[in-house]
Amino acid sequence: MSSPASIGKHPIHPMVVPFPIALWIFSFVCDVVYALDWGGIFWKDMAFVSMAGGVVGALVAAVPGYLDYLSLTALSAAQRIGRWHMALNLSIAVLFTINLWLRVGSEASAVWPVILSLVSIALLGISGWLGGELVYVHGVAVDQEPQVPVRKGRDRAA
């Protein structure tokens, strides 16, 4: 089934999800660099900014993801997995939003925000697994019709 949220038959959700994923992981890396005193305050600030960018990116990715979810057949395995995938992703976005709130104007212990980031990234891995299950096992947002004509005869190597 093709995605209802697509541009030129290319689904939007998988185009935009790498941004929050990368930003959140980079935020955690920045936290580690800062915690190990491998750099200055720049790394703490970069962790905050990249985490905020990840939250914005997740909200952008949620819109086409939700449209894809609505296109699933009711009571199907894909819909059940999609529900878990969506619930995890929304929970992760909330956890990172709380994480940002904990960091605003707080010079207190930076341990809890880093632990919260680690837990959130672990949940992100589970959600990514479920997203892969939707695409590669259940064919969600995959157009089943071949788009490129198959050439007959010998392929010519240049």
Which pLDDT does position 146 carry in this prediction?
A: 57
- 72 falls within a domain: yes
- 143 falls within a domain: no
Q: How many domains are there within the chain?
A: 1
What is the domain range of residue 56? 6-137
Asked if residues 99 and 113 have their Cβ atoms less than 8 Å apart, the reply is yes
Phi, psi of 136 (to 5 degrees): -85, -25
Which pLDDT does position 65 carry in this prediction?
A: 93
- 79 falls within a domain: yes
Per-residue model confidence as pLDDT tens digits over 18-69: 999 999 999 999 999 998 889 888 999 999 999 999 999 999 999 999 998 9
- 90 falls within a domain: yes
Per-residue model confidence as pLDDT tens digits over 133-154: 998 898 887 766 655 666 666 6
Residue showing tokens 């299950």: 133
